[in-house]
Amino acid sequence: MTDVSRLPGAFHHRWDWQLSAACRGADSSLFFHPPDERGDARTEREEKAKRVCFRCPVRQACLRHSLEAREQFGVWGGLGEEERRALIAAARRERSAACRPAA
């Protein structure tokens, strides 16, 4: 479930990027997998979704939103669930390393 406490609020200027999204009006099932989807079917659907993202003028804003809100499911900003988790984990490790005292 998305952590709504991380969402930036209901200010139009914070959400206007969605109006220009390449996925606007697209079938959301392209970006979110059904519960029983596995293997090649899931990979193919996700690749199709990413192709939409790669031509999107607001891809970076979408990705930033997904990382800030910790979106757990779907393709956001051209990255799938595992790819976003890996980015978050890498950022966490980097912050942790920066906080350690120098040896």
Q: Does residue 1 belong to any structural domain of this protein? A: no
pLDDT of residue 96: 81
Provide the domain count of the chain. 1
Alpha carbon 48 to its chain centroid, in Å, reads 15
6 assigned to some structural domain: no
Q: Is residue 12 within 8 Å of 38, Cβ to Cβ? A: no
DSSP classification of residue 102 = P
**37 in a structural domain:** yes
- For the whole prediction, is pTM greater than 0.85? no
DSSP 29: G
| Confidence (pLDDT) at 16 | 87
Range of the domain at 27: 12-99
- The whole-number mean pLDDT for each consecutive block of 10 residues of the chain, a chain of 103 residues, reads 63 77 95 93 96 97 93 96 94 82 67
- Give the gyration radius of the chain's Cα atoms: 16
Q: How far is CA 20 from CA 24, 29, 94, in A?
A: 7, 19, 33
| Residue 58 within a domain | yes
61: in domain: yes
3 lies in some domain: no
Q: What is the pLDDT of residue 95?
A: 82
Q: Are 53 and 62 in contact (CB under 8 A)?
A: yes
Q: What local confidence, expressed as pLDDT, does residue 79 receive? A: 98
How far, in Å, are 11, 47, 78, 93 from residue 17 at the CA level?
Answer: 12, 23, 15, 30
Question: Residue 50 domain-assigned?
Answer: yes
CA distance 48 to 26: 12
Does 28 fall in a domain? yes
pLDDT value for 89:
93
pLDDT of residue 101: 73
